[in-house]
Structures are given as structure tokens and as C-alpha cells.
Amino acid sequence: MLWEAADPREMLTERFGFASATEATGWLDKVLAEHWSLRVDVCERLVISDANCLAWVVVDGRRMIAKWSMRPQVFERLAAIARLSVWLDERGIPVSAPQPALDGSLQVEVDGFSLGLQQVIAGELLDIADPVQVTAAGETLARMHAAMADYPEPIPSIEPPAPGTQLVGNDFRSANIIWSGERIAAVLDLEESSYRRRVDDLAQAAVLLGTRYHDWRPTPVEVRRAFVAAYVSVHPLQCDEAAALDERIATYLTRFSWPG
């Protein structure tokens, strides 16, 4: 389990219908063979995160991640997020783009699941104790915001975009940022993307930048300041956004009952 306190074997059966990890791996091998013409050499691990199951596998000598969801109501959104990832990748934003299936699909719906396949991005999770990484994170979020503001396709969302909002990733933090070779190699998990003011997304990222899976703590003040400074050096805030930033940061700190 990625973050839940539950028995993974029970959840694998209850949520996904597989009696064992071996059965799940066998099913995945069949799906990859049929839709990607790839075979699973070995499954390194299975991880469950809510309605998603992730498999780290070696296929034809390459390390990849297969991720499938068991909630049909999000299938359309998952396909849209996959297209967004490819679009960002084509524009030089470091994301983990899905590998198309044989028919060009980025998400394949099979046996009641929606499944995507990506390369494993080598590296470590972002370390906010390293000022170089913090600066790179701020600059990367700024470039992402600038690119996502121009994304031409609507993303299925609970609420339609309101005036003054744009598409943002909505989950920019250490757990989803891979650092490798003195650079950010990938920003992962765009599934939370939504329409918000970019200053709201920046404030949330500033507060949660160091969070991973457990034992969340607020980003230290000096790290927040360095992160925001790096962001505005690439994508300056408008006057009203700059004025709202501290208030939005305080709101997120209060939401988690954290001191400022």
C-alpha cells in the first residue's frame, strides 16, 4: 500500500479482483502482449494507491511502470491527462509521457480497467534540503504553468474553469518530482490537474514541497522563499497575484494546522 494502513493482498482481491500478485502479473503480461506487443520478464513490485494499482516491471529488458484504475468514472479523465502529458513532453516540460499502445491509445480500457504504460524515470525524489534542487523546482513549476496556460484541450473536471483560472498540476511536491543528473528529470502524477489560479497552485506547492507519503510537515520558511523566488524569476506574478500569495500560503498552513 502506498499510503493506506490496509492489507495489500486483501485490497488486491477486494478492489481489483486478483487472488494473488502472481495472478495480477499474469493478467498484466497478457494485456501488454496484446496491446503493446511486450512481455513481462519480471514484476519487481505491485503498489496499491486508492483505486489504482501500479506495477514496476521489466519488459523486453526495459524497466517500466504499468498503472491501472478500477473506477470507470475517471477513465475519460485519465485519457485526457495522458494526452496532456504527451503535449507537455513535446514542449520540453519534464514529465513522464505514456508509451502509446499498438493502436496509438495512451490509455487502454480492458477487463473493466483503464491502463497506461510509462518508462521508469531513474533518479531520487526531490530533496528540499538542497538549494539547487529547490531552485530547479521553482523554475520548473513556472515553466509548467506557462505551458499549461496554453493547453488547447479541456480536461474533464468536477467544476468548469472559472474566470482567472488556468490548468495547473495541483500536486507539485517531492513525492511527484524526480531529481537526476543535476536536474529535474520528471514531474509525475498529473492526475490531480484542475483549473485554478496559478497563485493558488504556487502557494500549495510552496507549503507542501517537501511532502512525500507519510509524516507530512510544512516546508521551512526559508525554503518556501527560495522556491517562490525561483518561480517568479521565470514567470513573474501580477500585482494582484503577488498580493494574494502570502494569504494563500497562510490558508494552506491553517488547513493542515501547521504553524507559519
Instruction: Return the C-alpha cell found at 166.
Output: 488556468
Residues 61 and 131 in one domain: no
Of 119, 135, 154, the position where a domain reaches its end is 119
Is 260 part of any domain? no
Residues 154 and 72 in one domain: no
pTM for this predicted structure: 0.93
Residues 17 and 115 in one domain: yes
Residues 93 and 143 in one domain: no
Name the domain count of the chain. 2
How do 194-196 and 166-168 pair as beta strands? Answer: antiparallel
Residues 136 and 241 in one domain: yes
How many H helices and E strands in the chain? 7, 10
Q: What is the Cα–Cα distance from 199 to 165, expressed in whole angstroms?
A: 9
Ordered per-residue pLDDT tens for the chain, 260 residues: 777 878 989 999 999 999 999 999 999 999 999 999 999 999 999 999 999 999 999 998 899 999 999 999 999 999 999 999 999 999 999 999 999 999 999 999 999 999 999 999 999 999 999 999 999 999 999 999 999 999 999 998 777 789 999 999 999 999 999 999 999 999 998 999 999 999 999 999 999 999 998 779 999 999 999 999 999 999 999 999 999 999 999 999 999 888 87
Full domain range(s) for residue 44: 8-119
Q: What is the Cα–Cα distance from 149 to 152, expressed in whole angstroms?
A: 9
Instruction: Return the C-alpha cell found at 172.
Output: 507539485
* CATH label of the domain that carries residue 43: 3.30.200.20
Q: Cα-atom radius of gyration of the chain, to the nearest Å? A: 19
DSSP state at residue 147? H
